[in-house]
């Protein structure tokens, strides 16, 4: 038996010999940060690849959420999902905004538009949905509600780099969209992130906010923070962008192999493959029915680990179970049955460019 460990993900990295010339150029320029050459080049390249009008790069994926809320002057209450990474709601907490949680759709894990309207109060100012596992939210339904109640919409698209619906980027939905370029993501700059917005004036405001509020060398126009991406990570991003198409193709082959192997196993559910969606296959979650499958989710998780296969229970536990949020009224009044079911049954299986299909077969043999 092959006992080599298989991790849940592995970072996309360019050939080192291709990165070295970029580093030498950065060393010669001696311009390491503050909107340098590679920073500007990556913003242009990302706008072109992602089919978006404007993007502003950040040093990680959490600061874009925090700055987007500031840029839109969001206050009071924001409706969001309990089924996400904690950064989604931590960004609200840091802005002194109260998250109002509603349940999710079982087929996608995304916020359920049918649950949003009942949660709106006179304090509600925005909706913060998440494109879970890269599957697009029902953006039309969410926007209809936002328009009816004059709410802003900020999408957390940490999983959704390059995802398209009916041939159009999902990153242009809502008022703003944020991205993560963390090492675990489909596209990475080691650490990094971005805000996607719709017009030049908004991008300028975001760029002020991520650079201490400086409008010029001697003029500060707002109380900003330091969220800038440096030149080294921007250069890494430019190189990774050259390879992203091949990397996504490899992920697609892995996802297809999983579906072929696991589709008809009693007690294992796989999320639908939406044919109008250009997916990046950022994750491959399976859901274990504790009554139908021969063991419960946590037993399967440990069984995989015993074979040196490291999946991840993502997202588990729910955000609403953590101390900053579990005593909020919207949590005490709801038990979020769908999100709870997903959280207690999910395992994200290994998927990344470079994972051999024989290793995928090995994973599936353990599950079978």
CB atoms within 10 A of CB 107: 11
- Kindly give the pairing relationship between strand 176-180 and strand 346-349: unpaired
In the chain, CATH 3.40.640.10 covers 16-102+111-239
- Kindly give the pairing relationship between strand 214-216 and strand 168-169: unpaired
Mean pLDDT, the chain, integer: 97
| Structure-token match 């959280």, residue found | 343
pLDDT at 274: 85
Q: How far is CA 143 from CA 69, 114, 162, 221, in A?
A: 17, 12, 21, 31
pLDDT in tens, 73-122: 999 999 999 999 999 999 999 999 999 999 999 999 999 999 999 999 99
Instruction: Say how far apart CA 247 and CA 131 lie, in whole Å.
Output: 20
pLDDT at 30: 98
In the three-class reduction of DSSP (H, G, I as helix; E, B as strand; rest coil), residue 333 is classed as: coil
pLDDT in tens, 284-312: 999 999 899 999 999 999 999 999 999 99
pLDDT at 273: 86
CB atoms within 10 A of CB 91: 26
What tokens appear for 146 in the block?
Answer: 């936002």
Instruction: Say how far apart CA 125 and CA 287 lie, in whole Å.
Output: 34
Percent of the chain scoring above 90 in pLDDT = 98
pLDDT in tens, 221-275: 999 999 999 999 999 999 999 999 999 999 999 999 999 999 999 999 999 888 8
Q: How far is CA 118 from CA 39, 102, 124, in A?
A: 43, 9, 11
Provide mean pLDDT across the span 24-37.
Answer: 97
pLDDT at 318: 98
Tell me the HSE value of 247 on the side-chain side, using a 13 A CA sphere.
Answer: 23
Provide mean pLDDT across the span 340-350.
Answer: 98
pLDDT at 137: 98
What tokens appear for 288 in the block?
Answer: 């274990």
pLDDT in tens, 168-194: 999 999 999 999 999 999 999 999 999
In the chain, CATH 3.90.1150.10 covers 244-367
What tokens appear for 25 in the block?
Answer: 């150029």
pLDDT at 1: 47
User: Over 70: is that where the pLDDT of 327 sits?
Assistant: yes
pLDDT at 112: 98
In the three-class reduction of DSSP (H, G, I as helix; E, B as strand; rest coil), residue 260 is classed as: helix
pLDDT in tens, 54-63: 999 999 999 9
Q: Which CATH number fits domain 16-102+111-239: 3.40.640.10, 3.30.300.30, 3.40.50.170, 3.40.50.300?
A: 3.40.640.10
CATH number of 244-367: 3.90.1150.10
User: Over 80: is that where the pLDDT of 2 sits?
Assistant: no
Closest by CA to 147, choosing from 172, 117, 121, is 117
Provide mean pLDDT across the span 321-339.
Answer: 95
């Amino acid at each position: 038996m092959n006992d080599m460990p298989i991790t849940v993900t592995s970072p996309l990295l360019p050939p080192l010999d291709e990165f070295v010339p970029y580093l030498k150029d950065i060393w010669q320029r001696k311009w390491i940060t503050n909107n340098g050459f590679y920073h500007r080049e990556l913003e242009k390249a990302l706008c072109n690849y992602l089919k978006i009008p404007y993007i502003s790069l950040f040093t990680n994926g959490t600061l874009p959420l925090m700055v987007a809320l500031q840029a839109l002057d969001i206050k009071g209450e924001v409706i969001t999902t309990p089924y996400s990474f904690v950064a989604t709601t931590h960004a609200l907490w840091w802005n002194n905004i109260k998250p109002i949680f509603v349940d999710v759709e079982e087929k996608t894990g995304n916020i359920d538009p049918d649950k949003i309207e009942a949660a709106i109060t006179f304090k509600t100012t925005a909706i913060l949905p998440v494109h879970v596992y890269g599957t697009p939210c029902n953006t039309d339904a969410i926007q209809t509600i936002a328009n009816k109640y004059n709410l802003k919409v900020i999408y957390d698209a940490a999983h959704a780099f390059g995802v398209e619906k009916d041939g159009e980027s999902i990153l242009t939905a809502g008022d703003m969209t944020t991205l993560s370029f963390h090492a675990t993501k489909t596209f990475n700059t080691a650490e990094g992130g971005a805000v996607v917005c719709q017009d030049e004036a908004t991008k300028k405001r975001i760029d002020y906010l991520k650079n201490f509020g400086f409008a010029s060398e001697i003029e500060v126009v707002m109380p900003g923070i330091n969220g800038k991406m440096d030149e080294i990570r921007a250069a890494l991003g430019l190189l990774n962008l050259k390879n992203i198409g091949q990397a996504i193709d490899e992920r697609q082959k892995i996802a297809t192999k999983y579906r072929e192997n696991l589709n008809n196993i009693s007690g294992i559910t796989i999320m639908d493959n939406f044919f109008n969606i250009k997916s990046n296959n950022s994750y491959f979650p399976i859901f274990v029915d504790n009554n139908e499958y021969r063991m419960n989710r946590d037993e399967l998780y440990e069984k995989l680990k015993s074979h040196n296969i490291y999946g991840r229970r993502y997202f588990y536990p729910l955000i609403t179970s953590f101390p900053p949020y579990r005593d909020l009224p919207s949590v005490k009044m709801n038990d979020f049955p769908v999100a709870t079911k997903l959280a207690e049954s999910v395992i994200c299986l290994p998927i990344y460019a470079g994972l051999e299909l024989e290793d995928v077969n090995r994973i599936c043999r353990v599950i079978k």
